Structure formats: C-alpha cells, structure tokens
Structure 1
C-alpha cells in the first residue's frame, strides 16, 4: 500500500525559500482545534494531544480502507483580540488566540473526521478537548510566505522581510499569521529550527 506524504506532494506549501514569495494554495482541508493561551502552556499542550490523537485515529481508519497517509506537520494560526495593536512580544502570551491545524488528504472529509473524534474519545477518554477537534477547510487566497530559520523569538526579522516584500508589491495583510512547524523542537537545537511563516494578503486599499 502506498503511503501518501503531503510534504512530498505539496513541496511549495511546506518548503518555501528563505526569501518572500507569493503563493496561492486554494482550499486546503485540516484537522483543527481552537484555543487561547500561551504557546506550550497547559491548554495549548492539551489541545495538541487531543488533535494528534484524532489525527492518528483518522490515519488508522483510512489505512484500513486502503488509503494510508503520513500524519502531517502541525500548523498554527495566531491572532489577538480586536483592537489589540501592540507587537506580539508585548502582548501577554496568555492572551494569544490560536487555531492548531494538521493538513489531511482530501479523502479525510468531515464525516471521516467525526468518526475519528468518536473513536479517539472512546480510546483515550482521559484526554481533554477531543470533542473540540473539528474538520476545517481554509482558503487563504494569495499569501506571502518564506522559511524562517532559528528560534521563534527571531521571527520579527523574518516578518520584517515579508513586510518589505508586501510593501514593494502593493500588498497588505488579509488574515491571520500562519506558521508550519517543520522541526521537532524537543530534539533539534533552536538554531536549526525551520518554520514556514505565511500571511494571507490582498492589494493595498
């Protein structure tokens, strides 16, 4: 049985250059869960556990039907409450809003994910938030993205390069800050972390 690897099928999505580029990926299906709180905080960590439990339940169910796939890298949408104008570094991390995403093949639809949520809840009743995992389709339209190398604290330098690119092409933000986490931060030194940064954009008004 061939195992689908989305990272190999969608290289532009997962492997942008280390300089800004303009892309459009159309509608993409995900396993999603929403929350609020500090990255790596207790709510965030519990949400990750619930999300991955459902992701593997969806994988095993698909494999049983002859459609195996590699569980994709985790992604995140990040934003602040309406009216918040401070830079991210100045906003208390407990006030960060997020949607965690895991991209799935197109044969994992809302019905299949609902079955995976039920199966995961039955198998892992001790996990919080499993009932909050849901199927999400997202079309961000035109996006500026690039690869960030290094720790998350250095992202402002990468974002500045993206802002300069946007200004030069007459673009402005049109959605949430989007990240794709390619490195296992538990095992890889921070200097070698690779994170895709992406912003939906539109022509400046």
Structure 2
C-alpha cells in the first residue's frame, strides 16, 4: 500500500497524465535536475548523463524526508531535444546531430542549498526551473524510433490546425524504464511548447 504521506507528482500534476491523443495542456513552472549533452542517445555519453542524475535525485529525496519531513516519489527521466535542423527528428532521424538536456523533476521545496549539499562539486548536474506554459502533448506507446510519424503529425498538422506555432524544445517524459521494457511497450509522453 502506498504511503499516504509520500507525494507522487505524476498523480498531482495534470501535465504528467497523457492520453493517446493530442491534447493542449498548460504546464506550470517546475524545478529540475538537469544535465546537457549532444549526439546519439545510444552512446555512453547519454548513459553517463543518466547515471549522474539519479544518485543526486535520490539523495535529495532522502534529505527532504529526513530534514523537512517531506517525502516524495522520484520522478521519471525526462529529456529536452533539439537540433539546428528539426527535420533530423522526423525525417532523417540523424541522431548524431541531436542536442539534449536530461532532467528529473524535483519539488519546489528543494533549495539550492540542499542541492549543493548532495551534488559533488565536479558534477555536470545543475538545479534549474523551466516554464513551458501552453504545450501540445500525447502518450506514445512503442519504440523511440517510431516517434517520427507522431511528431510529424503533431508539428505539421495538429499544431498548425489550431493556429499555433512550435516554440521551445521538444520534450519527452519516459514513463517506462527502457532497460526493463521491450520497445513495443515503452510509454513516453511527447510534448511540444507552442505559441498562439
């Protein structure tokens, strides 16, 4: 049985719930652990970035519970993705040209001082807020390599049909652990900030 005192932000923040349909959502300003990288996500650079985030995320969770009496579920891995030519995501799928920021959301009560206490000085991880505002998102079930068609429809059909324009960086929220889930069953929220 779940601990009633432990907050699960996937349940309390509406933007972490998505259906298999395009939806327009308002995403509040949120605080994240972030680490930047470039290139194919199937490389050690990407793996190293993931491995830099999680120890800090868990140390902050335990520090919050111990010193503040506030417990929460560590959030899933997320990623911001962009490139000089966004067609590398929908057509060519040239992963070597991708830039990314991997993230794990942390509660607003996690302070810069708490972060500094648990993050090694040499860590590439930083604590930063992100305000995305109005976004279009959908739940994608399947392989990451099958996202191209969904993104093409989102960017070139759904968003323009509502008189909106793409802005900011493509955002993915990984609800499944890709190390333990077969590709056809991966659940990923695909999100794109927009301007009206």
Match of 2:185 among 168, 178, 192: 192
In structure 2, distance between residues paired with 1:92 and 1:156? 12
In structure 1, distance between residues paired with 2:86 and 2:129? 28
Aligned residues, how many?
190
In structure 2, distance between residues paired with 1:174 and 1:27? 16
Corresponding residue SS for 1:90: coil
CA contact (8 A) 2:88 2:97 kept: no
In structure 2, distance between residues paired with 1:154 and 1:15? 21
Could you tell me which residue of structure 1 aligns to residue 113 of structure 2? 111
Could you tell me which residue of structure 2 aligns to residue 127 of structure 1? none
Q: TM-score, normalised to structure 2's length?
A: 0.90
Corresponding residue SS for 1:166: helix
CA contact (8 A) 1:31 1:101 kept: yes
Q: Does 1:87 align with 2:88?
A: yes
Superposed CA RMSD in Å reads 1.7
Decide which moves more: 158-167 or 71-80.
158-167
Could you tell me which residue of structure 2 aligns to residue 168 of structure 1? 161
Instruction: Give how far 1:67 is off.
Output: 1.3
In structure 1, distance between residues paired with 2:86 and 2:131? 25
Corresponding residue SS for 1:186: coil
1:123-202 correspondence runs (5 A): 131-163=123-155, 164-202=157-195
CA contact (8 A) 1:55 1:116 kept: no
Specify every segment of 5 or more residues in structure 1 that has no aligned partner in the other structure, as ranges: 122-129
Q: TM-score, normalised to structure 1's length?
A: 0.86
Decide which moves more: 139-148 or 84-93.
84-93
Specify every segment of 5 or more residues in structure 2 that has no aligned partner in the other structure, as ranges: none
In structure 1, distance between residues paired with 2:76 and 2:42? 16
Instruction: Give how far 1:91 is off.
Output: 5.5
